[in-house]
A = this chain, B = another copy of it.
């Protein structure tokens, strides 16, 4: 994982972009072409339509170059996803719990159901069901971090005294985002603002005894 893949791909922002096949660095041009080709193929032809051969052909890159830097097509998609979406789901900070959560859940629902990055993400979650090793990579590369981001509004509210201490943070987040993921991954029902706001209302009612959401 030391060579630019997955997490490192995100962590190394000022990657050496001027080299071209020498001992001091990989070709950033090839890397970008691969990630974009993988993304494009997923959106156009679906997960099954993403093949290493197809990526190589579309990116104008040799297969060996792909195998040099990535192990599987899901590693490529994860890299592409991380690059596209790493910061897309950081909840805002209005200084108030309710609007923070409502905005965050709406954004999450939109991301999962409407964006290209969301399509990649759904494909990766799906593949993770077939490959425990990849599931672990996906969690350590993205999901754990996202879970941390998801909890920020609640933690800030605890610090403000808006919420009581000693919350089971993990369980609260499951109750907030679980129903959304369920609709996205299992039932394919629409996930609109009314639904996500309702989830926030439940939490506020349960933990603060009041503060109904205002209709918009």
Binding site for B on A (CB under 8 A): 46-48, 122-123, 125-132, 135, 139, 143, 147, 170-171, 174-175, 177-183, 185-189, 195, 198-199, 202, 205-206
CB-CB < 8 A to A189: which residues of B?
A: 170, 174
- Chain B minimum-CB-distance residue to A128: B126
B46 touches A130 (CB 8 A): yes
A47 touches B130 (CB 8 A): yes
In angstroms, Cα B198 to Cα A132, docked, is 28
Selected from B132, B178, B198, the residue in CB contact (under 8 A) with A178 is B178
In angstroms, Cα B136 to Cα A48, docked, is 17
CB-CB < 8 A to A174: which residues of B?
A: 179, 182-183, 187, 189, 195
CB-CB < 8 A to A129: which residues of B?
A: 47, 122-123, 125-127, 129, 185
| Chain B proximity of A101: nearest CB distance (Å) | 15
In angstroms, Cα B143 to Cα A183, docked, is 12
| Chain B proximity of A207: nearest CB distance (Å) | 11
CB-CB < 8 A to A188: which residues of B?
A: 135, 139
A-B residue pairs in contact (CB < 8 Å), sample of 30 = A46-B130, A46-B131, A46-B132, A47-B129, A47-B131, A48-B131, A125-B185, A125-B186, A126-B126, A126-B127, A135-B188, A139-B187, A139-B188, A143-B186, A143-B187, A170-B189, A174-B179, A174-B187, A174-B189, A175-B202, A177-B182, A178-B180, A178-B182, A178-B183, A181-B181, A185-B185, A202-B202, A202-B206, A205-B206, A206-B206
In angstroms, Cα B191 to Cα A174, docked, is 11
| Chain B proximity of A187: nearest CB distance (Å) | 6
| Chain B proximity of A208: nearest CB distance (Å) | 14
CB-CB < 8 A to A127: which residues of B?
A: 126, 129-130
